[in-house]
Each structure stands twice: as C-alpha cells, then as structure tokens.
Amino acid sequence: MTKILITPTAFSDGRGPWRTVLEQAGFEIVMPKVDATQLGPEALIDLVRGIDGVLASVELYSRQVLAASKLRCIARVGVGYDSIDVAAATDHGVAVAITPGTNHDSVAEQAIALITGIFRDLPARDHEIRQGQWRRNTVRRLAGNTLGLLGLGRIGKAIVPRAQGLGLKVIAYDPYPDRAFADQHGVRLMSLDGVLAAADIVSLHLPCTAETSDLINATSLKKMKRGAVLINTARGGLVDEPALAAALASGQLSAAGLDVFKTEPLSADSPLLKMNNVVLCPHMGGLDQTSLDAMSTLAAQCLVDLHRGHWPEGCIVNDQLRSGWKW
C-alpha cells in the first residue's frame, strides 16, 4: 500500500479534510511521533524510510535526505518551498507540490494585524495593564502613511485593498509586476530602492531564493526612512537578523513585526527577544482554519492526482519532471 507521511503539527490529532482525500484514494496514512520540523537529516531519513509521499510542513529535505529515500512526491501545505532542495528533488525524480491560492487572505490579515498592532502599541499596552499600569500616552496615526510592498503576487495583492481601507497609500516593487492590477488599484510601481526610500512601512512578500536571501541587510536598511517599520510574513531568510536588530537598536527602524525567522523556533539567545519595539509571532501567517483546510486538501489532492497519473496544473514547482514522470 502507498504510504503517506503527515508532518504538519497542526494535524497531529490525525483529523482534517486531507484525511478523507487520502483514505478514499486507498493510501496508508503514517503519523509521526515526533515533530519532523525539528529533526536533523539522519533522523528525517529514518522517518521517511519506506514512505512514498509526504503531506509536508517545513522540515528540511536536503540532497542527503532525498538520496536516501524512495519518495515520489513532497506536497507542501503552503506555498513556500525553501526547505526543500528542489534541484536535488528533481535529480531524484521527486515531484515538489505547493498549494497556491489557498492562504493569501490569511497572510494578508496577519500582515495587517502586525501593522496595526505596532502603530496602536497593543502588545505593550496589554502587558502594562496586566502589570497594573495605566499608560495613556499617544501613539502614531496609521492612516496617511505609505506602505511599501516588496512583492505583488497573490499575498501582496490581497493586502492592497485592506491597507487602502485603513487609509494607507500603497507602493510596490515586484520583479514581474502585474501592471494591470497596479493601475486598477492605484498602486504605484517603483524600483526596490525607490520603495525602500519612500515607504513608512515596508512589508515583505517575496520568495526566499539565492537572489533574495538577506535582501534586508545593513545596506538596504540604511536606504529606508529613519523610523520606518519592517513587516515580514514571508520567509526569515529574506532578513539579516543581526543587521535588523542593530537598526532597531539605533532607531533607524522604529519597529518590526516578524512572523518568520531564519531559524524556527526563534533561538532563545536572539537579541530580537529583548527588544520592546518588535512584535513576534510563530510563523502563523498562513494559518487560519479556512486556509489550513484548503491547503491540506489541495496538497492531499496533489498526491492523489500524481499517483493516478494526473499532473496537478500550477502546483508542481519542478514542472520539468512532467514528461515521462511516473509514480
């Protein structure tokens, strides 16, 4: 029987619409007893031994892991795939599937929540009241500020009407911009440096690739307005965290809202933990119940379709495998 490993911790109870999809296809479901996202390569190799496909979280599929497995498909519950060595997966004939169009609204809401939380100083005020303090000094008004989106894909587009509804002006950089969308919604397209220089709030929505790794670094942070705010709900690898901490300490940035980090969970010795001008969340931007059900169902369907010889259009990262690929 075809064995499918389920690694997202959100599914550790074994329940969800994904289960129906997989069981109706006749797959054997394998639930791990450990958190796969925290495993090193040797332990992950042991976990995937005998497994045909994975309904995957963000565990690291390196060339070493892929070479030691008999995997045919890794179906990510989400749209990011930087935890998978795609070149190695292609070399070993492992299809890598993602779930586009399922979580953009959830990530957009998370980005807006971080922005409003920072501008209204909500985390600090909540903490102070619980400690018996009653501080009512003023905060900055959000409306009238300029939001700069680095990335105008599905998530960036979902943020635009939400941000404009809050009275924000929206500008954007994207290497392959949808100019029709920008024109329709009054989004000014600019260069990367142009957005960094003009925005009061910079929100990251680009994939993490070799070209974008540490895109936000000491140099780019200096190009931002003094006192600007950085929001990252994309990938931790986009940000040089020591440089960010330095910018927050110096006042070059007034605040940051971070949902993702280079190492997850965030290291206990990270200087970001000691900063009261940073709002932190545990990589939950894409996780509301609606999006989780949609992502997991589509990821499960990708596994089923591939097993039945049907190529899931728009979902396979290494599409070059299509010709001649078989389960």
How many Cα atoms sit within 13 Å of 151 on the Cβ side? 23
pLDDT of residue 308: 97
pLDDT band at 165, cuts 50/70/90? very high
| 283 catalytic per annotation | yes
CB 138 within 8 A of CB 114: no
Q: What residue type is assigned to position 259 of the chain? A: D
Q: What residue type is assigned to position 265 of the chain? A: P
List, for residues 103-146, the tens digit of each pLDDT value: 999 999 999 999 999 999 999 999 999 999 999 989 999 999 99
Number of neighbours of residue 46 by Cβ within 10 angstroms: 11
Please tell me which residue in 19, 72, 235, 307 is annotated as part of the active site. 235
Q: Which domains does the chain have, with CATH numbers?
A: 3-102+288-321 (3.40.50.720), 104-280 (3.40.50.720)
Q: In the beta sheet, which residues pair with residue 232?
A: 204, 258
Please tell me which residue in 140, 154, 162, 264 is annotated as part of the active site. 264
Please tell me which residue in 283, 308, 313, 322 is annotated as part of the active site. 283
pLDDT of residue 246: 98
List, for residues 192-227, the tens digit of each pLDDT value: 999 999 999 999 999 999 999 999 999 999 999 999
Closest CA to 94 of 140, 63, 136, 124: 63
pLDDT of residue 292: 95
List, for residues 291-301, the tens digit of each pLDDT value: 999 999 999 99
| 264 catalytic per annotation | yes
Q: What residue type is assigned to position 181 of the chain? A: F
